[in-house]
Amino acid sequence: MAAPSSRPLPVPDDLTRPYWQAAWEGRLELPRCAACGRWRFPPTPTCDDCGSPAFTWAPVSGRGIVYSFGIVHENFIKGFDPPYVVAQIELAEQPGLYLMANIVDCPPRRVTIGMPVTVTFEQVSDTVRLPQFRPAV
C-alpha cells in the first residue's frame, strides 16, 4: 500500500473516540454491554441484543479468524495501491463479532477463509494507528 499520509483518515466522534484512543495506545478495545455482556462493533448507542444504552469499553484478545475477504483490484480510494486485501475478521470473543481490516504481512493469494489472525497496529498519521490483522503464529 502507498504512502499512508494520503489515505482517508478517521474522524473520531463521541461514540468512537475511545476506540481510536485505545488503538493509538496499541490496544484493541470494543464497546461491551453493561447489562448483558454482549460485545458490539461498530460502536452504537444501544446494545444490538438487549437494547440497553449502558456500556463500557473493554479490551479484547485481538485474536480471530478471517470470516471472509476480498482482493481490491481497482483504485477507488485515494492513497491505496491495489491489489490489497480487505477482510471481515470474526473476533474470538463472540460468534458474529466482526471487524473490517486489511490483512498485512501476508501476500493476498495466501489469505484463506478461516485463517487465524491477530491484531497489529499500523501508524498512518501523527495521531492515528489503525488496528490491522496479520496471520497468527
Partner 1 sequence: MTQPNPKRSAIVGVGYTELVRQSPDGLAALAARAALAAITDAGLTVADIDGYVGAPAATHASARHVDGVDEVSAGLMVHDLGLQPAWAEDLTGFAPVVIERAARALAAGDCRYVVFVRALFNPIGVRYQATDRPLVGGPEQFMLPYGISMAGGRHSLWLRRYMHDFGATREELFTVVANARAAAALNPYAFWRNRPLELEDYLDSRWIYEPMCIFDCDMPVTGAGAMVLTTADRAADRPHRAAYVSAVAPKHPADGTLLRSLGIGRDDLQAAQLYDGYSHFVWYWLEQTGLVGQGEAHTFVHEGRTALHGEFPVNTFGGSLGEGRLHGFGHVREAAMQVMGRAGERQVPSMQNCLVVTGPGYPGLPAPTLLITAR
User: Applying CB under 8 A, which residues contact partner 1?
Assistant: 1, 7-13, 16, 42, 67-80, 83-84, 86-88, 99-102, 113, 124, 128, 130
CB 128 → partner 1: shortest distance, Å?
8
CB 57 → partner 1: shortest distance, Å?
15
Secondary structure class of 113 (helix, strand, coil):
coil
* Cell (9 digits) for 4: 499512508
- End-to-end alpha-carbon separation of the chain, Å? 23
- Residues in contact with 109: Cβ distance below 8 Å, sequence separation at least 6, in sequence order: none
- For partner 1, the closer of residues 33 and 99 by Cβ is 99
CB 53 → partner 1: shortest distance, Å?
19
* Cell (9 digits) for 103: 490483512
